[in-house]
Structure 1
Amino acid sequence: MTQTFINGKIFVGDNESHFVDSMIVEDGKVKQIGNNLSIEGEKIDLHGQTVLPGLVDCHTHPKYIADALHGVACTPPNVNSIKEMQEALRKSPAYGQGSDVWIEGWGFDETKLAEHRSPNRNDLDAVSTTQPIFIYRSDCHSSVGNSKALELAGIDKNTPDPVGGKIERFADGQPTGFMREVAASQLLIRAKSAQSYDNDVTNMVNSSDHYIREGIVAIGEMMGRMKPYPSLQLYQDAVKQGFAPKASIYYVFDELDPERGLQPSGNEKLRVAGIKVFMDGSISGETANNNDPYPSGKMGVSLTSVEKLQRAIEMARKNKLQLAVHAMGDKAIQTVIDVTKGMEPWLTSMPSVRIEHASLMNDQMFDAIANSKMNYALVTQPIFFFAEDESYRHYLSPAQFKLAYRINTMLNSNALLGLSSDAPCTPWAEPDSPFYSIYAAVTRKAANGDIVNLNEAITVPQAILGYTRDAARIGGFDDNGTLEPGKAADFVVLTTDIFTVPHEELKDVRVKETWMAGQRIMG
């Protein structure tokens, strides 16, 4: 089938200023672009609307999103206290559905709650003691469960803390329900997922429409799991039932068998792409590993030793996989750079090492990257400072705050810059809207109106490239990212012209239509 799209403002995406008004698509691929092209096949008039390459969220958590979509948003502006959280959980469609149905929520940040503390099992037991309740903290590292959830997970007074995590306890030693960091949260998540694999598949399939409405045609699953089942299996079954976005899976290193390793597999639609390592926690959770202490005196946490990082690198190198390293604090990021800067890249078509978040970076780090052998990507999230400005102001010194999310410096460094959401891991009701992230990257304005290091602002085209061309390069989506001939005809039509709208209105831009392989699948 051949289609000719005319009368559009089509952003090709190979650079910051390349626009055409026409595009010919043949058999799902871009055949030709230009101005005033001769009509071939079906004529589709774009009526002057703005077209972008399909958006790529190269660092997100689709399994978490799938859970969150049928769960309760415990975020501002609707939830601002534990009491409001309890009321919201009682309004969940899952409430009252039986003892085998989990009530789920996401997005709370204790610094934004009126009580200035995290909810505990007693708070959630006030909602239900017969149904299990599970809520992600905003960073998706920590979580909280009620008594029923703890019971199903086999967690009691005598349960030891998992390596890299902590089961918070009351004075008598009983668990509070708060599970600090990923390793502890996984104890509840495994109990939840083990209960109904079919529900997990259904939730993934149902999340497809969510991504397509946002114009996101490709995603990086940054929390691939082997337990209680391989994430690849979940995606394969979801794709069979209609899950539309392309996906790259990054498996958490701690769940991989060092003897068996991990082989890259799959195709453009779905593939195993890399290994994920956690160096530290989060700034809003006071667990990012910084050189200087937090105001409370805490020093954050180190989740991966140099020796363990080296083992992960060797597995990635041996199996020709990317290494994606979660590192938010400046000490954690410096460790990653120090260990890898002298190494020869093992991948040529994409960065071998991805530094995820890269929240606090000083000039010396950028100098080290510029003089290193390694090919790096910096994958960062403007939505974090947009939604969590108060936490960053509270937990960071003025000197540290100046190092936060240096997107313009990243863009002009020797690393490839990708913008992404890390959704749903931030306290915002629309955590993976690309347009909130673009707004934040361009204006450097937080949700509360605070201006965050204005000198690190980038332009609208640059931000869009971070969600298209460069995100695709980083995530290995070779068929996406631009609308050059030969690429997939995956694109979006916007409600307004993102290139001319006042910057204050960038966050209000939405996707009117989403097309994949030349077929309109939304709008």
Structure 2
Amino acid sequence: MKQTYINGHIFVGDSEDHFVNRMIVEDGRIKWIGNDPNSEGDTIDLHGQTILPGLIDCHTHPKYIADALHGIACTPPNVNSIKEMQEALQQSPAYGKGANVWIEGWGFDETKLAEHRSPNRNDLDAVSTTQPIFIYRSDCHSSIGNSKALELAGIDENTPDPVGGKIEHFTNGRPTGFMREVAASQLLIRAKSAQSYEGDVQNMINSSNHYLANGIVAIGEMMGRMNPYTSLKLYQDAVKGGFAPKASIYYVFDEIDPEKGLQPSGDAKLRVAGIKVFMDGSISGETAFNAEPYPSGKMGVSLTSKEKLTRAVNMARENKLQLAVHAMGDQAIQTVIDVTKDLEPWLEGMPSVRIEHASLMTDEMFDEIAHSKMKYALVTQPIFFFAEDESYRHYLNAEQFKLAYRVKTMLNSKAMLGLSSDAPCTPWAEPDSPFYNIYAAVTRKAANDDVVNANEAITVPQAVLSYTRDGAKIGGFDDNGTLEVGKAADFVILNKDIFSVPHDELQNVRVKETWMAGKKVFEN
């Protein structure tokens, strides 16, 4: 089957300024692209609309998003207090459905709530004591559960803290329901997932259109799990049911059996791609690990030692897998560089080590990267400072704040830059819209109109390439990223020309149509 697309403003994606007006697609791939009046097969007139290669979100959490889409957004602008959160949860479609149905929410940040504290089990018990309730904090590291959720997870005053996590308690010893960091949150998540595997699969299938509506044709699942079932099985069953985006899975190192290790597997549609390690927490949670203390005196948390990181590096190297390391604080990032900079890269055509977030980086770090043997990717999220400016200004001192999300410096460094969402791990109602991320990277403006380190702004084409060409290289999506001959005919049609609209309108750009393998899979 052949199709010729004419009269388009087509961004090829192999450089910042390569545009053409016509392309020919055959059997789902780009057969020809250029400006000649050549036509084959059916003709589709694009009427001057802007076309981009299909977008790549190389760091996201699709399982969390699948849960969130049928849950409640506990974020501004709609939820600004615990009272409003309670009211919102009572409007959940799950509310009143029975003791086996979880009420879910996501995105709260205690610094944005009127009460200036985290909700606790008592607050959620006011919504329901018969149905379990689970809410992710904005960073998706921590969470909160009501009494029923704690009961189903077997958590009481005698439950020990898991390694790398903390179960918060009231002064009388009773758990508050606040589960600090990933290891603690997993106690609730496993109870929830074990109750309904079929429900998790259906949620994933239902989330497919959400990605296509954002123009996202490929995703990096950065929280691959072995328990209570493998993420690969979840995705395989979801794909059978119609889940459309291509996916690469990165398994959390702590869940991998060291005796069995982890083998790369799969194909261009779905594959096991790497290992994920957590070095620290989040800035908005005061748990990112910094060299200097926060103004409060806290130092953040170090979740992985150099010795443990070295074991993860060895496993990745021996099995030809990527190593993706969550590191937000400057000390956490420095540890990753220290352990890996003198190692020979073990992957061809893509970075062997990905530093995820890379939130606070010094000039010295960039210099070390420039002189290192290792091939790095810096996968960062400007939407964090867009949505969390107040938290960053509150928790960081002035010198630390100057280091926040140095996107231009990343782009000009030896490392490869990828923009991504980390969705739904930020307090914004549209956490994985690529266009808020692009807006923040280009304007350096936060949602409150504060300007964050204006000298680190990049151009629109540079931001788009970080979501297409470079995102594909970082994530190993070899069929995607550009609209060059031989690549998959995965592309999006925008409602506005992202390259010419005023920068303040970038956040209002939306996807009009998404095409995969030359077939329209979404239309707004």
Provide the TM-score with structure 1 as the length reference: 1.00
* 1:36 CA displacement: 3.1
Aligned-partner Cα distance in 1 for 2:471–2:38: 32
SS in 2 for 1:273: strand
* 1:195 CA displacement: 0.1
SS in 2 for 1:449: coil
1:149-228 to 2 correspondences below 5 Å = 149-228=149-228
**Counterpart in the other structure of 2:506:** 506
**Counterpart in the other structure of 1:121:** 121
User: Is the Cα–Cα contact under 8 Å of residues 75 and 428 in structure 1 kept in the other structure?
Assistant: yes
User: Is the Cα–Cα contact under 8 Å of residues 495 and 512 in structure 1 kept in the other structure?
Assistant: yes
Aligned-partner Cα distance in 2 for 1:58–1:101: 31
**Counterpart in the other structure of 2:102:** 102
**Counterpart in the other structure of 1:383:** 383
Aligned-partner Cα distance in 2 for 1:89–1:11: 43
Do residues 495 (structure 1) and 489 (structure 2) align? no
Aligned-partner Cα distance in 2 for 1:326–1:434: 20
SS in 2 for 1:274: strand
**Counterpart in the other structure of 1:64:** 64
The letter for the 1-side match of 2:59 is H
**Counterpart in the other structure of 2:239:** 239
Aligned-partner Cα distance in 1 for 2:37–2:343: 48
User: Is the Cα–Cα contact under 8 Å of residues 261 and 315 in structure 1 kept in the other structure?
Assistant: yes
1:354-433 to 2 correspondences below 5 Å = 354-433=354-433
Aligned-partner Cα distance in 2 for 1:39–1:347: 40
| 1:432-453 residue CA offsets vs partner (Å, 9 max, x unmatched) | 0000000000000000000000
**Counterpart in the other structure of 1:451:** 451
Aligned-partner Cα distance in 1 for 2:160–2:296: 26
Aligned-partner Cα distance in 1 for 2:334–2:78: 38
Do residues 251 (structure 1) and 232 (structure 2) align? no
Aligned-partner Cα distance in 2 for 1:325–1:247: 18
User: Is the Cα–Cα contact under 8 Å of residues 218 and 247 in structure 1 kept in the other structure?
Assistant: yes
* 1:296 CA displacement: 1.2
**Counterpart in the other structure of 2:140:** 140
Root-mean-square deviation (CA, aligned residues, Å) is 0.4
Q: Which runs of 5+ in 2 are unaligned?
A: none
SS in 2 for 1:66: helix
Aligned-partner Cα distance in 2 for 1:323–1:37: 46
Aligned-partner Cα distance in 1 for 2:50–2:409: 28
The letter for the 1-side match of 2:291 is N
Aligned-partner Cα distance in 1 for 2:288–2:203: 31
**Counterpart in the other structure of 2:291:** 291
SS in 2 for 1:466: helix
Aligned-partner Cα distance in 1 for 2:348–2:238: 31
**Counterpart in the other structure of 1:30:** 30
Aligned-partner Cα distance in 1 for 2:191–2:352: 34
**Counterpart in the other structure of 1:485:** 485
SS in 1 for 2:389: helix
Aligned-partner Cα distance in 1 for 2:37–2:340: 48
Aligned-partner Cα distance in 1 for 2:295–2:363: 24
The letter for the 1-side match of 2:253 is F
Aligned-partner Cα distance in 2 for 1:398–1:11: 39
Do residues 338 (structure 1) and 338 (structure 2) align? yes
Provide the TM-score with structure 2 as the length reference: 1.00
**Segments ≥4 residues shifted beyond 2 Å:** none
Aligned-partner Cα distance in 2 for 1:299–1:350: 34
SS in 1 for 2:131: coil
User: Is the Cα–Cα contact under 8 Å of residues 6 and 36 in structure 1 kept in the other structure?
Assistant: no
Aligned-partner Cα distance in 2 for 1:480–1:323: 21
* 1:234 CA displacement: 0.0
* 1:348 CA displacement: 1.4
SS in 2 for 1:372: coil
Aligned-partner Cα distance in 2 for 1:76–1:247: 30
Aligned length: 523
SS in 2 for 1:86: helix
**Counterpart in the other structure of 2:442:** 442
SS in 2 for 1:219: strand
* 1:349 CA displacement: 1.6
| 1:383-431 residue CA offsets vs partner (Å, 9 max, x unmatched) | 0000000000000011000000000000000000000000000000000
SS in 1 for 2:127: coil
The letter for the 2-side match of 1:479 is D
The letter for the 2-side match of 1:18 is H
1:463-478 to 2 correspondences below 5 Å = 463-478=463-478
1:308-347 to 2 correspondences below 5 Å = 308-347=308-347
* 1:196 CA displacement: 0.3
The letter for the 2-side match of 1:293 is P
* 1:239 CA displacement: 0.1
Alignment identity in percent? 82
| 1:324-373 residue CA offsets vs partner (Å, 9 max, x unmatched) | 00000000000000110000001012100000000000000000000000
The letter for the 1-side match of 2:139 is D
Aligned-partner Cα distance in 2 for 1:243–1:373: 39
User: Is the Cα–Cα contact under 8 Å of residues 90 and 127 in structure 1 kept in the other structure?
Assistant: yes
**Counterpart in the other structure of 1:83:** 83
Aligned-partner Cα distance in 1 for 2:234–2:227: 11
The letter for the 1-side match of 2:143 is S
* 1:172 CA displacement: 1.1
**Counterpart in the other structure of 1:306:** 306
Aligned-partner Cα distance in 2 for 1:396–1:294: 6
* 1:39 CA displacement: 1.1
| 1:120-141 residue CA offsets vs partner (Å, 9 max, x unmatched) | 0000000000000000000000
SS in 1 for 2:349: coil
User: Is the Cα–Cα contact under 8 Å of residues 377 and 417 in structure 1 kept in the other structure?
Assistant: yes
Aligned-partner Cα distance in 2 for 1:171–1:507: 45
Aligned-partner Cα distance in 2 for 1:503–1:384: 19
| 1:441-480 residue CA offsets vs partner (Å, 9 max, x unmatched) | 0000000000000000000000000000000000000000
Aligned-partner Cα distance in 1 for 2:345–2:55: 27
* 1:37 CA displacement: 3.2
SS in 2 for 1:315: helix
SS in 2 for 1:33: strand
**Counterpart in the other structure of 1:230:** 230
Aligned-partner Cα distance in 1 for 2:512–2:23: 18
SS in 1 for 2:178: strand
SS in 2 for 1:324: strand
Aligned-partner Cα distance in 1 for 2:503–2:31: 33
* 1:189 CA displacement: 0.1
**Counterpart in the other structure of 2:351:** 351
* 1:295 CA displacement: 1.4
Aligned-partner Cα distance in 1 for 2:456–2:408: 5
**Counterpart in the other structure of 2:518:** 518
